[in-house]
Amino acid sequence: MKKKLIFLDIDGTLTAAGSNVPPDSALEAIKKAQKSGHKVFLCSGRNPGMLSPLLKYDFDGYVASAGGYIVIADKVIYDCPMEDEDFHTALDVLHRNGVFCTVEAKDVAYGDSNLAEFFADHTDEGNSEIERWRKALSTSLGIHDIKEYDGRPIYKVVIMCMDDKQLDEARELLEDKYDFCMQIVPLKLNKCVNGELINRKFDKGRGVRKVAEALGYDLSDTIGFGDSMNDLEMIKTVGYSVCMANGNEHLKKICDMVCDSVNNDGLAKAFNQLNLTE
Protein backbone atom coordinates (compact mmCIF):
# COMPACT_ATOMS: atom_id res chain seq x y z
CA MET A 1 0.00 0.00 0.00
CA LYS A 2 1.04 3.62 -0.46
CA LYS A 3 2.81 5.13 2.52
CA LYS A 4 0.56 7.31 4.67
CA LEU A 5 0.85 10.37 6.85
CA ILE A 6 -1.04 9.60 10.07
CA PHE A 7 -2.23 12.39 12.37
CA LEU A 8 -3.25 11.62 15.96
CA ASP A 9 -5.13 13.83 18.36
CA ILE A 10 -3.91 13.22 21.92
CA ASP A 11 -6.59 13.63 24.58
CA GLY A 12 -9.36 11.09 24.13
CA THR A 13 -7.64 9.57 21.08
CA LEU A 14 -4.04 8.56 21.71
CA THR A 15 -4.40 8.73 25.50
CA ALA A 16 -7.14 8.94 28.07
CA ALA A 17 -7.97 12.63 28.48
CA GLY A 18 -5.34 14.47 30.49
CA SER A 19 -2.90 11.54 30.42
CA ASN A 20 0.61 11.42 28.99
CA VAL A 21 0.75 7.63 28.73
CA PRO A 22 -0.70 5.93 25.62
CA PRO A 23 -1.85 2.31 25.89
CA ASP A 24 0.89 -0.19 25.12
CA SER A 25 -1.21 -1.48 22.23
CA ALA A 26 -1.24 1.99 20.63
CA LEU A 27 2.51 2.43 20.98
CA GLU A 28 3.13 -1.00 19.46
CA ALA A 29 0.82 -0.22 16.51
CA ILE A 30 2.50 3.14 15.92
CA LYS A 31 5.97 1.56 15.91
CA LYS A 32 4.84 -1.10 13.45
CA ALA A 33 3.32 1.54 11.19
CA GLN A 34 6.53 3.57 11.22
CA LYS A 35 8.57 0.45 10.52
CA SER A 36 6.30 -0.16 7.52
CA GLY A 37 7.22 3.28 6.17
CA HIS A 38 4.30 5.38 7.36
CA LYS A 39 4.90 8.64 9.25
CA VAL A 40 2.99 9.40 12.44
CA PHE A 41 2.39 12.93 13.72
CA LEU A 42 0.68 14.27 16.81
CA CYS A 43 -2.07 16.78 15.91
CA SER A 44 -3.26 18.42 19.09
CA GLY A 45 -4.77 21.44 20.72
CA ARG A 46 -2.01 21.12 23.31
CA ASN A 47 0.87 23.55 23.11
CA PRO A 48 4.38 22.11 22.62
CA GLY A 49 5.05 22.21 26.35
CA MET A 50 1.97 20.19 27.22
CA LEU A 51 2.58 17.58 24.52
CA SER A 52 6.34 17.33 25.16
CA PRO A 53 6.05 14.33 27.56
CA LEU A 54 4.82 12.30 24.57
CA LEU A 55 7.77 13.14 22.32
CA LYS A 56 9.87 10.39 23.92
CA TYR A 57 7.80 7.96 21.84
CA ASP A 58 9.60 9.14 18.68
CA PHE A 59 6.82 10.62 16.59
CA ASP A 60 7.81 12.05 13.22
CA GLY A 61 6.69 15.53 14.25
CA TYR A 62 3.68 17.38 15.55
CA VAL A 63 1.00 19.95 14.85
CA ALA A 64 0.60 21.80 18.17
CA SER A 65 -1.60 24.64 19.46
CA ALA A 66 -4.39 23.57 17.07
CA GLY A 67 -2.14 24.30 14.08
CA GLY A 68 -0.31 27.38 15.34
CA TYR A 69 3.04 25.66 15.81
CA ILE A 70 4.26 22.84 13.55
CA VAL A 71 7.41 20.73 13.73
CA ILE A 72 8.69 18.06 11.31
CA ALA A 73 11.46 16.02 12.92
CA ASP A 74 13.36 18.79 14.74
CA LYS A 75 12.54 21.59 12.31
CA VAL A 76 9.89 24.24 13.01
CA ILE A 77 7.98 24.88 9.77
CA TYR A 78 5.23 27.15 11.11
CA ASP A 79 5.01 29.50 14.10
CA CYS A 80 2.04 31.87 14.42
CA PRO A 81 1.24 33.36 17.85
CA MET A 82 -1.68 35.76 18.43
CA GLU A 83 -1.11 39.45 17.94
CA ASP A 84 -0.45 40.94 21.37
CA GLU A 85 -3.26 43.48 21.06
CA ASP A 86 -5.76 40.77 20.14
CA PHE A 87 -4.72 38.65 23.10
CA HIS A 88 -5.21 41.44 25.61
CA THR A 89 -8.52 42.45 24.04
CA ALA A 90 -9.74 38.86 24.24
CA LEU A 91 -8.71 38.40 27.86
CA ASP A 92 -10.24 41.73 28.95
CA VAL A 93 -13.61 41.19 27.27
CA LEU A 94 -13.91 37.53 28.27
CA HIS A 95 -13.14 38.27 31.91
CA ARG A 96 -15.53 41.22 31.85
CA ASN A 97 -18.28 38.78 30.87
CA GLY A 98 -17.44 36.19 33.51
CA VAL A 99 -15.76 33.70 31.18
CA PHE A 100 -13.12 31.35 32.59
CA CYS A 101 -9.93 31.35 30.53
CA THR A 102 -6.73 29.41 30.11
CA VAL A 103 -4.15 30.79 27.72
CA GLU A 104 -1.38 28.85 26.01
CA ALA A 105 2.10 30.08 25.23
CA LYS A 106 4.56 27.75 23.50
CA ASP A 107 5.94 26.06 26.60
CA VAL A 108 3.54 26.97 29.39
CA ALA A 109 -0.16 27.57 30.02
CA TYR A 110 -1.84 30.01 32.41
CA GLY A 111 -5.28 29.70 33.98
CA ASP A 112 -7.63 31.89 35.98
CA SER A 113 -7.06 31.69 39.72
CA ASN A 114 -10.53 30.24 40.36
CA LEU A 115 -10.42 27.73 37.51
CA ALA A 116 -9.77 24.76 39.81
CA GLU A 117 -12.81 25.72 41.88
CA PHE A 118 -14.96 25.85 38.75
CA PHE A 119 -13.87 22.35 37.74
CA ALA A 120 -14.37 20.95 41.24
CA ASP A 121 -17.87 22.38 41.48
CA HIS A 122 -19.17 21.69 38.00
CA THR A 123 -17.34 19.39 35.67
CA ASP A 124 -17.87 15.71 35.12
CA GLU A 125 -15.86 13.24 33.08
CA GLY A 126 -16.98 12.63 29.52
CA ASN A 127 -15.44 15.40 27.40
CA SER A 128 -11.78 15.02 26.55
CA GLU A 129 -10.91 18.72 26.45
CA ILE A 130 -12.65 19.54 29.74
CA GLU A 131 -11.05 16.50 31.35
CA ARG A 132 -7.62 17.47 30.01
CA TRP A 133 -7.80 20.84 31.72
CA ARG A 134 -9.31 19.45 34.91
CA LYS A 135 -6.45 16.96 35.27
CA ALA A 136 -3.85 19.48 34.16
CA LEU A 137 -4.54 21.54 37.28
CA SER A 138 -3.36 18.72 39.53
CA THR A 139 -0.90 16.69 37.41
CA SER A 140 2.32 17.00 35.47
CA LEU A 141 0.68 18.89 32.60
CA GLY A 142 0.68 21.89 34.92
CA ILE A 143 -1.09 25.24 34.55
CA HIS A 144 0.34 28.39 36.10
CA ASP A 145 -1.81 31.07 37.68
CA ILE A 146 -2.58 33.73 35.10
CA LYS A 147 -1.22 36.33 37.54
CA GLU A 148 2.22 34.89 36.69
CA TYR A 149 1.86 35.68 32.97
CA ASP A 150 5.10 37.34 31.83
CA GLY A 151 4.21 38.70 28.40
CA ARG A 152 5.44 35.81 26.23
CA PRO A 153 3.55 35.15 22.95
CA ILE A 154 0.18 33.39 23.28
CA TYR A 155 -1.15 30.98 20.65
CA LYS A 156 -4.75 30.38 21.74
CA VAL A 157 -7.31 30.93 24.47
CA VAL A 158 -9.41 28.12 25.97
CA ILE A 159 -12.87 29.24 27.10
CA MET A 160 -15.35 27.91 29.67
CA CYS A 161 -18.60 29.60 30.67
CA MET A 162 -22.17 28.73 31.63
CA ASP A 163 -24.01 30.59 28.86
CA ASP A 164 -23.08 31.19 25.22
CA LYS A 165 -24.39 34.77 25.55
CA GLN A 166 -21.34 35.52 27.69
CA LEU A 167 -19.34 35.32 24.46
CA ASP A 168 -21.42 37.82 22.48
CA GLU A 169 -19.19 40.85 23.13
CA ALA A 170 -16.00 38.89 22.41
CA ARG A 171 -17.48 37.62 19.14
CA GLU A 172 -18.41 41.13 18.09
CA LEU A 173 -14.85 42.33 18.64
CA LEU A 174 -12.84 39.32 17.49
CA GLU A 175 -14.78 36.88 15.33
CA ASP A 176 -13.53 38.38 12.08
CA LYS A 177 -9.99 37.26 12.98
CA TYR A 178 -10.59 34.38 15.40
CA ASP A 179 -12.76 31.29 15.21
CA PHE A 180 -14.84 30.49 18.30
CA CYS A 181 -14.67 26.68 18.22
CA MET A 182 -17.30 25.85 20.87
CA GLN A 183 -19.30 22.90 22.12
CA ILE A 184 -21.85 22.24 24.88
CA VAL A 185 -20.53 20.00 27.65
CA PRO A 186 -22.73 18.24 30.26
CA LEU A 187 -21.95 19.03 33.89
CA LYS A 188 -22.95 17.43 37.15
CA LEU A 189 -25.96 19.70 37.61
CA ASN A 190 -26.09 21.78 34.45
CA LYS A 191 -24.05 22.30 31.29
CA CYS A 192 -21.31 24.63 30.16
CA VAL A 193 -19.94 26.07 26.97
CA ASN A 194 -16.36 24.97 26.31
CA GLY A 195 -14.09 25.70 23.40
CA GLU A 196 -11.16 27.60 21.98
CA LEU A 197 -10.48 30.98 20.45
CA ILE A 198 -8.27 30.10 17.48
CA ASN A 199 -6.62 32.38 14.96
CA ARG A 200 -8.31 32.09 11.56
CA LYS A 201 -4.83 31.95 10.01
CA PHE A 202 -4.54 28.30 11.08
CA ASP A 203 -6.36 25.19 12.28
CA LYS A 204 -5.57 21.48 12.54
CA GLY A 205 -6.66 20.94 8.95
CA ARG A 206 -4.27 23.52 7.60
CA GLY A 207 -1.62 21.99 9.82
CA VAL A 208 -2.18 18.67 8.04
CA ARG A 209 -1.88 20.45 4.68
CA LYS A 210 1.40 22.14 5.64
CA VAL A 211 2.97 18.86 6.75
CA ALA A 212 1.76 17.03 3.64
CA GLU A 213 3.06 19.77 1.34
CA ALA A 214 6.43 19.92 3.10
CA LEU A 215 6.89 16.15 2.79
CA GLY A 216 5.42 15.81 -0.70
CA TYR A 217 2.35 13.75 0.17
CA ASP A 218 -1.07 14.00 -1.44
CA LEU A 219 -3.90 14.67 1.00
CA SER A 220 -5.49 11.45 -0.23
CA ASP A 221 -2.63 9.66 1.56
CA THR A 222 -3.34 11.22 4.97
CA ILE A 223 -5.30 9.63 7.82
CA GLY A 224 -6.61 11.50 10.86
CA PHE A 225 -7.75 10.18 14.24
CA GLY A 226 -9.79 12.36 16.62
CA ASP A 227 -12.58 12.50 19.15
CA SER A 228 -13.58 16.13 19.72
CA MET A 229 -15.04 18.99 17.72
CA ASN A 230 -11.67 20.73 17.81
CA ASP A 231 -10.58 17.90 15.49
CA LEU A 232 -13.21 18.86 12.91
CA GLU A 233 -10.93 20.68 10.47
CA MET A 234 -8.40 17.85 10.59
CA ILE A 235 -11.17 15.31 9.98
CA LYS A 236 -12.50 17.33 7.02
CA THR A 237 -9.02 17.68 5.49
CA VAL A 238 -7.49 14.22 5.68
CA GLY A 239 -8.01 11.59 3.02
CA TYR A 240 -9.46 9.13 5.54
CA SER A 241 -10.94 10.03 8.92
CA VAL A 242 -11.41 8.00 12.11
CA CYS A 243 -13.37 8.93 15.24
CA MET A 244 -13.03 7.17 18.57
CA ALA A 245 -16.10 5.46 20.05
CA ASN A 246 -15.75 7.79 23.06
CA GLY A 247 -15.86 10.79 20.73
CA ASN A 248 -18.32 13.52 19.82
CA GLU A 249 -21.51 12.19 18.19
CA HIS A 250 -21.46 14.73 15.35
CA LEU A 251 -17.86 13.86 14.55
CA LYS A 252 -18.73 10.17 14.39
CA LYS A 253 -21.38 10.88 11.76
CA ILE A 254 -18.97 12.55 9.35
CA CYS A 255 -15.95 10.25 9.79
CA ASP A 256 -15.15 7.37 7.46
CA MET A 257 -14.69 5.01 10.41
CA VAL A 258 -15.61 4.82 14.09
CA CYS A 259 -13.17 2.66 16.02
CA ASP A 260 -13.24 1.34 19.57
CA SER A 261 -12.63 3.69 22.50
CA VAL A 262 -9.22 4.92 23.59
CA ASN A 263 -9.41 2.76 26.71
CA ASN A 264 -10.31 -0.37 24.74
CA ASP A 265 -7.31 -0.46 22.36
CA GLY A 266 -9.24 1.50 19.72
CA LEU A 267 -6.20 3.03 18.07
CA ALA A 268 -4.40 -0.30 17.68
CA LYS A 269 -7.53 -1.98 16.35
CA ALA A 270 -8.01 0.76 13.75
CA PHE A 271 -4.34 0.64 12.68
CA ASN A 272 -4.69 -3.10 12.14
CA GLN A 273 -8.01 -2.76 10.29
CA LEU A 274 -6.47 -0.15 7.97
CA ASN A 275 -3.45 -2.37 7.33
CA LEU A 276 -1.05 0.23 8.71
CA THR A 277 0.92 -2.28 10.75
CA GLU A 278 1.80 -4.66 7.92
Output the tens digit of pLDDT for each of the chain's 278 residues: 899 999 999 999 999 987 899 999 999 999 999 999 999 999 999 999 989 999 999 999 999 999 999 999 999 999 999 999 999 999 999 999 999 998 999 999 898 877 656 555 555 554 455 555 555 544 545 678 889 999 999 999 999 888 999 999 999 999 999 999 887 766 555 677 888 899 999 999 999 999 999 999 999 999 999 998 889 999 999 999 999 999 999 999 999 999 999 999 999 999 999 999 99
**Within 13 Å, how many C-alpha atoms sit on residue 20's CB side?**
16
Query: With contact defined as beta carbons under 8 Å apart, do 28 and 44 qualify?
Result: no
What pTM did the predictor assign?
A: 0.87
Give me the helices (H) in 137-265, please: 168-174, 204-215, 232-237, 249-254
CA distance 215 to 39: 10
Q: 261 vs 7, 15, 106, 155, 245, CA distance in Å? A: 17, 10, 30, 30, 5
HEC assignment per residue over 168-182: HHHHHHHCCCEEEEE
**pLDDT attached to residue 140:** 45
Strands (E), the chain: 5-8, 39-43, 61-64, 69-72, 75-79, 100-104, 109-111, 144-145, 156-161, 178-186, 191-199, 222-226, 240-244, 257-259
Sheet containing strand 178-186, strands side by side: 144-145, 109-111, 100-104, 156-161, 191-199, 178-186
Nearest alpha carbon to residue 225 among 13, 1, 2: 13
Dihedral sign, CA of 32, 33, 36, 39?
negative
The number of residues in the chain equals 278
Q: What is the DSSP string of 194-205?
A: EEEEEETT--HH
Q: List the beta bridge partners of residue 242.
A: 225, 257
Query: With contact defined as beta carbons under 8 Å apart, do 260 and 269 qualify?
Result: yes
